[in-house]
Amino acid sequence: MYKTITTIYFYSLVAFSFAQETQSFTLAQAQSYALENNYDKVNAESDLLIAKKKVWETTGIGLPQVNFEAKLQNFIDLPTSLIPASAFNPNAPAGEFAELKFGTNYNNSATISANQLLFDGSYLVGLKAAKVYKEFSEKNVTKTEIEVKEDVAQAYYLTLVAEENKKILNEIATTTETLLNETTKIYEEGFVEEQNIDQLRLTLNDINNSLVYAEQQLSIAKNLLKFQIGYDIKNEIGLTDNIEALLKLADPENSISKEFDVTNNINYQMVKVNEELMKLNFNKEKFSFAPSIAAFFSHTQQNMSDDFDAFSGGKYYPQTLWGISLQLPIISGGMRLAKTGQAKVEYLKAQTTSKKVEQSLMLQAERSKAEYTSALSIYNNQKEGVTLAKKINNQSIMKYNEGVISSLELAQTQNQYLDTEAKYIKSLLDVFNAKSNLNKALGTN
């Protein structure tokens, strides 16, 4: 009884462990999982958090700065000052000095000071720039999300296509192996030549080689998908969507007819934010010629005594002051002027880049629409072609079994089927890639 319970418990643990290490995803679920676990997305979120902290750091420069300082000084040897002895004794010879020590053995103080920036043009511009930089980081998170979803989609498509390729090759291999076994029996009865068997074996070897390669490609595709979504490479992964369903989701008519608006494209949005940053940098350099004004306040309590009585009733002497400071740059050897000129040129470059990106995205959108249309047309033709090639191959097998055609003619139709299947698989990848490129060009999430 104990052994039975132990066995059940063991297999329960194995089943639970397998369930924990295997997970299946639709494309949407894989993309959602990636937005939480993808390494680039996690880093983009961290960059956004840093940008938010940077805004607080910059804001803090213009807020009151309050500091406290306490000093405890014990002069083991008081400093000595030399004064001409004649100051105390008119009869003292010339060149003689009196040695005097000023101060007390203990000199303790506590000071609290405050500073407040009243006006600084560079600070105001810097504060706005920090907020724009935060906006840039937010745009970067959005861009990363779009790229992650597209990368996951590409890996998902690749895995599905690899599975489809393996499935078709398995079917062809099974059919060919069955035909080889039947032909071998007929050969043993003396009704066909050995060349027929050799030809079928050669074809089957080629198919099996393709199958081994297809299995490797499927394994690589699955590992790439795991990596893209941030899933442990060691664990198994399953795909619940199928090719036909995803092709229907492609919705070619709406995608191609969709009006392109460059402002919806995240790359354009980011380049415009960068242009704004360059403009603010230019303004900051212009403010380097303006004055800055600050207010300050300080209060000190000082305790002086030959005995340490800072905490036992010793006397403290106060000192309090406040004021306003003004700094006005006058001459810097042309350095500020040169930096302002550089900032202006950088701003002009950013404007040119924005225009270039705008035109490039418009061109990319039109090209992507054309490539998507072409890929869909080729896919539909190849899909029909692989159906016809399969039909021809099946008819050739029947004719071969009836002795109407030779093994060489059968091999030709089988090679034609394999070639058509390979073109069909390529057309599948091309249509999915074209769809992803179109999504990126149109700014579709």
Q: Is the pLDDT of residue 415 over 80?
A: yes
Q: Is the pLDDT of residue 445 over 60?
A: no
Q: What's the Cα-to-Cα distance from 107 to each of 79, 210, 250, 270, rounded to whole Å?
A: 13, 90, 82, 59
pLDDT at 252: 53
For 28-43, how does the pLDDT look when each residue is reduced to its tens digit (9 = 90+)?
999 999 999 888 888 9
pLDDT at 157: 92
Instruction: Looking at mean pLDDT, say which of 80-84, 302-306, 391-395, 408-412 comes out highest.
Output: 391-395
pLDDT at 3: 45
Average pLDDT score over residue span 414-427: 89
More confident residue, 50 or 245: 50
pLDDT at 257: 57
pLDDT band at 179 (very low <50, low <70, confident <90, very high): confident
pLDDT band at 17 (very low <50, low <70, confident <90, very high): very low
More confident residue, 231 or 408: 231
**Least confident stretch, 11-20, 29-38, 355-364, 378-387:** 11-20
Query: Domain 21-63+120-291+333-442: which topology?
Result: Outer membrane efflux proteins (OEP) (1.20.1600)
Find all residues with CB under 8 Å of 267, minimum gap 6, and list them. Answer: 143, 357, 361
pLDDT at 14: 44
For 83-100, how does the pLDDT look when each residue is reduced to its tens digit (9 = 90+)?
887 777 788 788 888 888
Distance, CA of 89 to CA of 101 (rounded, Å): 18
Q: Is the pLDDT of residue 19 over 50?
A: no
Distance, CA of 76 to CA of 191 (rounded, Å): 121
For 197-238, how does the pLDDT look when each residue is reduced to its tens digit (9 = 90+)?
888 898 889 989 999 999 999 999 999 999 999 999 999 999
pLDDT at 155: 93
**Least confident stretch, 40-49, 237-246, 325-334, 336-345:** 325-334
3-state SS, the chain, equals CHHHHHHHHHHHHHHHHHHHHEEEECHHHHHHHHHHHCHHHHHHHHHHHHHHHHHHHHHHHCCCEEEEEEEEEECCCCCEEEEEHHHCCCCCCCCCEEEEECCCCEEEEEEEEEEEEEECHHHHHHHHHHHHHHHHHHHHHHHHHHHHHHHHHHHHHHHHHHHHHHHHHHHHHHHHHHHHHHHHHHHHCCCCCHHHHHHHHHHHHHHHHHHHHHHHHHHHHHHHHHHHHCCCCCCEEEECCCHHHHHHHCCHHHHHHCCCCHHHCHHHHHHHHHHHHHHHHHHHHHHHHCCEEEEEEEEEEEEEECCCCCCCCCCEEEEEEEEEEEECCCCCCCHHHHHHHHHHHHHHHHHHHHHHHHHHHHHHHHHHHHHHHHHHHHHHHHHHHHHHHHHHHHHHHHHHHCCCCCHHHHHHHHHHHHHHHHHHHHHHHHHHHHHHHHHHHHCCC
For 299-324, how does the pLDDT look when each residue is reduced to its tens digit (9 = 90+)?
999 988 888 887 887 888 899 999 99
**Least confident stretch, 20-29, 255-264, 331-340, 376-385:** 255-264
Average pLDDT score over residue span 186-203: 83
More confident residue, 400 or 229: 229
pLDDT band at 4 (very low <50, low <70, confident <90, very high): very low
User: With pLDDT > 70 as the criterion, what percentage of the chain qualifies?
Assistant: 92
Q: Is the pLDDT of residue 280 over 50?
A: yes
pTM reported for the whole predicted model:
0.73
Average pLDDT score over residue span 347-360: 93
Average pLDDT, the chain: 85
